[in-house]
């Protein structure tokens, strides 16, 4: 049955939408961008061959000319080994130049790069390799393919360039085919929404601390830097002293991380003496951010714009961006639709501005890899259903109310875990928080809070009073536990609540 979609207006959207058209289904597309990733990279190789393209901290440094040359040899090696157009290559190297060369080499060969989560256990890796139908596997430590330089011809914007797998927080992960157009559209969205320089001013230099198998690192950092002739500085592993030191040493202008990393960085002794004068953009996303952390970031990076981004693997990264001007007063919002995306709401009640968020656009997948049933459930009448429950304000700003499956039902009252988490994150002494349903024989479910302290011990009474001043009585946590370790999150910063539920043991209810 068709589901009623209430379109979100673009009238007050601040992001430029020129040089765009709509196809016969009404989906927006860019008209003046590179057709493929090969066109995107080749343009920079021709324009600035001697500029740095990729830097691995403690490892290789590649100019654009060298990147193209070595990637073309990887492509030649793949083709000599029998790879044909459209066949899949599993990229399993750790973050660094080998990963980048394997990715670009696969694309230059006309293959499909399969970005495999390097943190996965062996059975999980085997599932992805089998599900993707991998022809060539490039595991950690394997030599890069090498052969006579090769560059595929005849590639099209609609060709699939890579497969990224969903985080698999429930059940097996699903492969998301990502086209050349989706990659390019996401890069163009980043440039427009972040106000990044293209061919003038200092070159973009972004510090990649997120794993490259994640769309944030690959699509919104590595490929965006390549789009404008900038530099991706890659951290093989995340280390806070190394991150702080790289800011000045590598002249970093763009930082992208989840709020938890920023919270830890700002408290680390190595950051006290860090030179942040070159940082122009501090972007965050993947999890709710405490208003106090936004204020701290503003103080810590006085010359930088603060931007919140929200996206999915299925959308090649960004769906919305909250601009710097809204960062303080609307810290609980993920912002406005990026230019190549239309937003809609499928109402769950009488309010047309509250419901499941649905999206369509040039960077949105048409479905999952060999999963017809999952595709039919997720993509309805051309709209991808995100599974996120949102509220949209009059300006078109989006607030994530909850994941549909994370809503707590307390005696018939629906409670947004995200709303309660936002209240907890603004409480004194709380560095991170997760809200879970606690089974209850009478009410069905009650609200439980898992808290991480911000240095000093947490005063639970003060936290609960803080929540009472901001939430209805039935939303205030009835259970709470304080943990010393970081909350489990996936590579994109999203809470792994299923794992957390197995770990938490609730004590007596709070008085």
Q: Are strands 28-30 and 20-22 parallel, antiparallel or unpaired?
A: antiparallel
What ranges make up the beta strands (E) of 404-489?
408-410, 413-415, 430-440, 444-453, 479-483
pLDDT at 188: 98
Mean pLDDT confidence for 137-155: 97
Q: What are 119-139's pLDDT values in tens digits? A: 887 888 999 999 999 999 999
Q: Chain-centre distance of CA 179, in angstroms?
A: 17
Q: Are strands 479-483 and 444-453 parallel, antiparallel or unpaired?
A: parallel
pLDDT at 181: 98
Higher model confidence: residue 121 or residue 180?
180
Judged against a pLDDT cut of 60, whether residue 170 lies above it is answered with no
Mean pLDDT confidence for 437-451: 82
User: What is the spatial distance between Cα 142 and Cα 393, in angstroms, rounded to a whole number?
Assistant: 51
pLDDT at 169: 45
Mean pLDDT confidence for 295-303: 96
**Is 59 within 8 Å of 236 (Cβ atoms)?**
yes
User: Pseudo-torsion of CA 11, 15, 20, 25, nearest 10°?
Assistant: -50
User: What is the spatial distance between Cα 149 and Cα 105, in angstroms, rounded to a whole number?
Assistant: 10
Judged against a pLDDT cut of 60, whether residue 2 lies above it is answered with no
User: What is the spatial distance between Cα 202 and Cα 190, in angstroms, rounded to a whole number?
Assistant: 17
Judged against a pLDDT cut of 60, whether residue 51 lies above it is answered with yes
pLDDT at 279: 97
- Residue 350 pLDDT grade (very low, low, confident, very high; cuts 50, 70, 90): confident
- Residue 156 pLDDT grade (very low, low, confident, very high; cuts 50, 70, 90): very high
pLDDT at 200: 61
Mean pLDDT of the chain: 92
Q: Which CATH superfamily is domain 408-503 in?
A: ANL, C-terminal domain (3.30.300.30)
* Range in 173-187, 271-285, 415-429 the model is least confident about: 415-429
Q: What are 63-75's pLDDT values in tens digits? A: 999 999 999 999 9
pLDDT at 345: 96
Mean pLDDT confidence for 424-445: 84
Name the pTM for this structure.
0.85
**Is 397 within 8 Å of 335 (Cβ atoms)?**
yes
Phi, psi values for residue 106, rounded to 5°: -65, -45
- Domain limits, the chain: 24-340+361-367, 408-503
Name the class of domain 24-340+361-367: alpha beta
């Amino acid at each position: 049955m068709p589901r009623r979609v209430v379109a979100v207006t673009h009238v007050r959207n601040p992001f430029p939408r020129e040089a765009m058209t709509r196809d016969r289904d009404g989906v927006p597309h860019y008209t003046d961008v590179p057709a493929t990733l090969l066109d995107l990279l080749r343009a920079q190789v021709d324009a600035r061959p001697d500029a740095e393209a990729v830097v691995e901290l403690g490892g290789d440094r590649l100019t654009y000319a060298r990147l193209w040359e070595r990637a073309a040899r990887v492509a030649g090696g793949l083709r000599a080994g029998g790879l044909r157009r459209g066949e899949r290559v599993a990229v399993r190297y750790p973050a660094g130049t080998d990963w980048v060369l394997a990715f670009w080499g696969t694309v230059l060969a006309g293959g499909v790069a399969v970005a495999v989560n390097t943190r996965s256990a062996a059975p999980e890796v085997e599932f992805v390799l089998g599900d993707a139908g991998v022809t060539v596997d490039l595991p950690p430590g394997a030599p890069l393919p090498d052969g006579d330089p090769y560059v595929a011809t005849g590639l099209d914007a609609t060709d699939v360039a890579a497969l990224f797998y969903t985080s698999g927080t429930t059940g097996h992960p699903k492969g998301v085919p990502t086209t050349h157009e989706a990659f390019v559209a996401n890069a163009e969205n980043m440039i427009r929404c972040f106000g990044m320089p293209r061919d003038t001013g200092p070159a973009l230099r972004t510090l990649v601390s997120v794993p490259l198998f994640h769309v944030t690192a690959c699509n919104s950092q590595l490929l965006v830097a390549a789009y404008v002739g900038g530099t991706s500085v890659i951290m093989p592993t995340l280390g806070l002293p190394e991150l702080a030191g790289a800011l000045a040493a590598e002249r970093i202008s763009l930082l992208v991380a989840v709020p938890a990393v920023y919270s830890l960085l700002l408290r680390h002794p190595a950051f006290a003496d860090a030179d942040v004068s070159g940082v122009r953009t501090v972007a965050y996303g993947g999890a709710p951010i405490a208003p106090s952390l936004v204020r701290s970031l503003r103080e810590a990076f006085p010359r930088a714009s603060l931007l919140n981004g929200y996206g999915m693997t299925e959308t090649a990264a960004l769906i919305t961006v909250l601009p710097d001007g809204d960062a303080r007063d609307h810290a609980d919002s993920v912002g406005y639709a990026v230019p190549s995306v239309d937003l809609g709401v499928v109402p769950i009640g009488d309010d047309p501005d509250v419901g499941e968020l649905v999206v369509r656009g040039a960077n949105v997948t048409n479905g999952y890899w060999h999963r017809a049933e999952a595709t039919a459930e997720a993509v309805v009448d051309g709209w991808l259903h995100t599974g996120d429950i949102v509220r949209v304000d009059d300006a078109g700003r989006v607030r994530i109310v909850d994941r549909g499956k994370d809503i707590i039902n307390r005696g018939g009252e629906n409670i947004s875990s995200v709303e309660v988490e936002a209240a907890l994150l603004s409480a004194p002494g709380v560095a991170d928080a997760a809200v879970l349903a606690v089974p209850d024989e009478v009410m069905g479910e009650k609200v439980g809070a898992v808290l991480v302290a911000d240095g000093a011990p947490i005063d639970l009474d003060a936290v609960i009073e803080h929540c009472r001043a901001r939430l209805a009585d039935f939303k205030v946590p009835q259970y709470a536990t304080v943990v010393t370790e970081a909350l489990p999150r996936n590579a994109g910063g999203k809470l792994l609540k299923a794992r957390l539920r197995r770990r938490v043991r609730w004590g007596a209810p709070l008085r």
